[in-house]
Amino acid sequence: MAPSIDSVLIIGGSGFLGLHLIDQFFKLEPRPAIHVLDIRPLPAVSPKFYSFDPDHVHFHKADITNVESIRAVLKIAVPSVVVHSASPVHGLGADIYRAVNVDGTAALLQAVAESTTVKAFVYTSSASVVYDGSDLKNADETFPIPAVAMDAYNDTKVQGERLVLDANKSSPQLLTCALRPSGLFGPGDRQLVPGMLDVLKTNGTVFQLGDNFNLFDFTYIGNVAHAHVLAGLALLDPARQDAVAGEAFFITNDTPVYFFTMPRTIWSHRGYVPKFIIKLPRDIGMGLAYLSEAWSALRGKQALFTRFRVAFTCANRYFNISKAKQFLGYEPLVSLEDGVLKTLQWIDEEEKLKK
């Protein structure tokens, strides 16, 4: 008999990925009770992009660094599956990343380990946990995690993932796994696609870092949410538990493209194609980024143009998702092209609402 989920608690359910997690769990048959733990209330969403009924989602305001508040939510939600998708966006301070990705994850694991109902814990990690600035070509889960992380965000994601996977060994009744998505975009995206559109607005489309022969994995957000549902079901399935529990899985669209293909596709859908391109070699980009970081440090601010971003843009960074296909039954539901169209439609809808 196929496993089912009676109740799910989505940590960070008001966020970018969180709303799509609600959407995917809402589509399950039988439908579980859906609970959200977040410090922000659920935003209003358009039925054009999300199919769930907000009246069927139970919201709980709580701080994930506070064990007592988590315990209180668990008593109300009585979930069999907990999905931890809360994570601050890039560009913030190290203290914020530690508070959420490390301290918050530790508090959650402590609370769920005490619960008598939680059987499965799925953690949203990042494909960047194995990234050290060099090329990742068809990287799979055997690739080692670097001794030194590229930045505070990735360092705390590594620590959070280790806490989750180690908890699988220390908590006999709790099964855990971690998903490592790459390059998220889709409706609700406030960073990747909007950032590429900002380049169009500021006439920066003629500049290219590197030679653009580097392949990169961008991933539609709905596909990532779908993978989390599959992971939760797999952890509850006695026939698949041993292959999934304590494991990490890369999640992508399985369609790597040359890095600048993505922004140029987005720009072309806005009716723009650059007439010429100015290529900046990687070394020059790294030098400019160093100056940007130094200037930002002097002003006590977080640099936006960093050596990490230059390395990220110029490196091959694509992944082998055979493990997720084999053990989670994962296949992308939405193609890159359709994902881009959905994202741009959502952005258009948002802009209309602002007028």
8 Å CB contact between 10 and 35: yes
How many other β-carbons are positioned within 10 Å of the β-carbon of residue 185?
A: 25
Lowest mean pLDDT among 145-154, 159-168, 311-320: 145-154
CATH 1.10.3720.10 fits 7-185+218-256+318-333, yes or no: no
Grouping H, G, I as helix, E, B as strand and the rest as coil, residue 235 is: helix
Confidence label for 267 from pLDDT (cuts 50, 70 and 90): very high
Smallest Cα–Cα separation from 74: which of 23, 26, 7, 124? Answer: 7
Lowest mean pLDDT among 89-98, 149-158, 193-202, 222-231: 89-98
- How many CA atoms within 13 Å lie on the side-chain side of 289? 18
Q: Which residues of 266-305 are buried (b: 16+ CB within 10 A; e: fewer)?
A: bbeeeeeebeeeeeeebeebbeebeebbeeeeeeeeebeb
Question: What pTM did the predictor assign?
Answer: 0.93
What is the rounded CA–CA span in Å between residue 192 and residue 117? 37
8 Å CB contact between 112 and 174: yes
- pLDDT tens per residue across span 301-341: 767 688 878 888 899 999 999 999 999 999 999 999 999 99
pLDDT value of residue 176: 97
Q: In which residue are the tokens 């855990």 written?
A: 176
Confidence label for 39 from pLDDT (cuts 50, 70 and 90): very high
Known catalytic residues?
157
Q: Which residues of 41-76 are buried (b: 16+ CB within 10 A; e: fewer)?
A: ebeebeeebbebeeeebbbbebebbebebbbebbee
Indicate the residue type of 219: T
pLDDT value of residue 155: 92
pLDDT value of residue 88: 83
8 Å CB contact between 242 and 344: no
Q: In which residue are the tokens 């529990």 written?
A: 245
Sign of CA dihedral 189, 193, 197, 198: positive
pLDDT value of residue 266: 95
pLDDT value of residue 56: 94
Q: What is the DSSP string of 132-163?
A: SSS-EEEE-TTSPPPSS-SSHHHHHHHHHHHH
CA 301 to chain centre: 25
164-180 average pLDDT score? 90
pLDDT value of residue 228: 98
56-77 average pLDDT score? 96
Work out the burial of residue 137: count CB atoms within 10 Å of its CB; fewer than 13 is exposed, 13-18 middle, 19 or more buried: middle
338-355 average pLDDT score? 90
Domains in the chain: boundaries? 7-185+218-256+318-333
Provide the token pair at 220: 């539609």
Lowest mean pLDDT among 15-19, 91-95, 266-270: 91-95
Q: Any idea what DSSP says for residue 315?
A: S
What is the rounded CA–CA span in Å between residue 113 and residue 14? 24
Mean pLDDT, the chain, whole residue set: 93
- pLDDT tens per residue across span 207-239: 899 999 999 999 999 999 999 999 999 999 999
